[in-house]
Amino acid sequence: MLNNKVSVVYGAGGAIGGAVARAFAREGAKLFLTGHHRAPVEEVTKDIVGAGGSAEAAEVNALDEPALDNHLQSVIDKAGRVDISFNAVGIPDTKIVGVPLVELDVEQFSLPITAYATSYFLTARLAARRMVANKSGVIMTVTALLSRTGAPLVGGYGPAMATKEALTRNLSAELAPHGIRVVGLRPQAMPETSTIKEAFEPRAKATGMTWEQWQQLLASRTHPRRLMTLAEMADVAVFMASDKASAMTGTTVNLTMGSLDD
Ligand SMILES: NC(=O)c1ccc[n+]([C@@H]2O[C@H](COP(=O)([O-])OP(=O)(O)OC[C@H]3O[C@@H](n4cnc5c(N)ncnc54)[C@H](OP(=O)(O)O)[C@@H]3O)[C@@H](O)[C@H]2O)c1
């Protein structure tokens, strides 16, 4: 589905970035994988190359515009173009969640809003500038259910996710006339990822629940009464990145399994 599509993944050493990169590679994409620590990105790259795919690793801070620009230019120099830009960057939740809003200091509140929005803006804008020349490309990112639902003890995380979804709509409004699609994914929690445990354990503890009870609570809010796998999320990412999804732009795919009504 993604044969020879030149794809850059930011935060590729993470749970979602790694799963998306592996799924893109299985569908024939050429991967340029980045993260601000090299080792986890190298691990994903080795897996892909070992399975016969095409991938290169680079250490790039997704908040550093010159570093992002240099890396993307090196991709263009090697591969001739960029077809897909996927921002899967995640800011550690331990710095963000678990404190009531009335006790939260302004820096801690602003941190996720600034970091998530800036990283998505920079990676999207730099890709769009290259994609416009080819009149083709797909810009993607990940958000979460808290973009659209109220929850206690999540600090600036919900506003950060809502900001990214607004940016997806606005980028699409400007870029779709140039042949560039902009699509987000809003997955339900995937318990196999360490991030989700780190994000929810403090909230579970604060409400007197165990992590297992918390997972059951989340699952009970979905229509199939279960949580999602990384593989299920990555399959949707592949479809959305492919030409089969040519009508999808300016939207965030609701992968909350019924937890959140449209
Ligand atoms: N996991 C889930 O179930 C789930 C569900 C819904 C939404 N989400 C959201 O999806 C996003 C990604 O989640 P995830 O589970 O994949 O998180 P993750 O495993 O922590 O991955 C995030 C990646 O981003 C990298 N990163 C952080 N800051 C960076 C920077 N400045 N430059 C480059 N890379 C940077 C991290 O690198 P290092 O590890 O080297 O620091 C890590 O590889 C988050 O916003 C998360 O809240 C996750």
Give the strands of the sheet with 6-10, arranged side by side.
Answer: 54-59, 30-35, 6-10, 84-87, 137-142, 180-187, 251-255
Scored b (16 or more CB within 10 A) or e, 52-86 reads ebbbbbbebbbbeeebbeebbeebeeebeebbbbb
For 201-229, the pLDDT digits (tens) are 877 888 899 888 989 999 999 999 999 99
The pLDDT, as a whole number, for residue 100 is 93
Tell which one of 89, 163, 190 to mutate to probe ligand 1, the residue whose CB is within 8 A of the most ligand atoms. Answer: 89
Collapsing DSSP to helix, strand or coil, 157 comes out as helix
Query: Pairing relation of β-strands 180-187 and 251-255?
Result: parallel
pLDDT band at 39 (very low <50, low <70, confident <90, very high): very high
In this structure, what DSSP letter does residue 97 have?
S
Residues 134-161 have a mean pLDDT of 96
Structure tokens at 68: 């992002």
Tell which one of 36, 143, 236, 257 to mutate to probe ligand 1, the residue whose CB is within 8 A of the most ligand atoms. Answer: 36
Residue 118 half-sphere exposure toward CB, CA atoms < 13 A: 13
Structure tokens at 186: 């809003």
More confident of the two residues 200 and 103:
103
Atom of ligand 1 nearest to the CA of 41: 43
128 contact partners, CB below 8 Å, separation of at least 6: 137, 139, 171, 175, 178, 180
Distance 18 CA to ligand 1 centre (A): 10
15 lines ligand 1 (CB under 6 A): yes
The pLDDT, as a whole number, for residue 104 is 95
Mean pLDDT rounded to a whole number for the chain: 96
Tell me which of 82-91, 154-163, 197-206 is least confident.
197-206
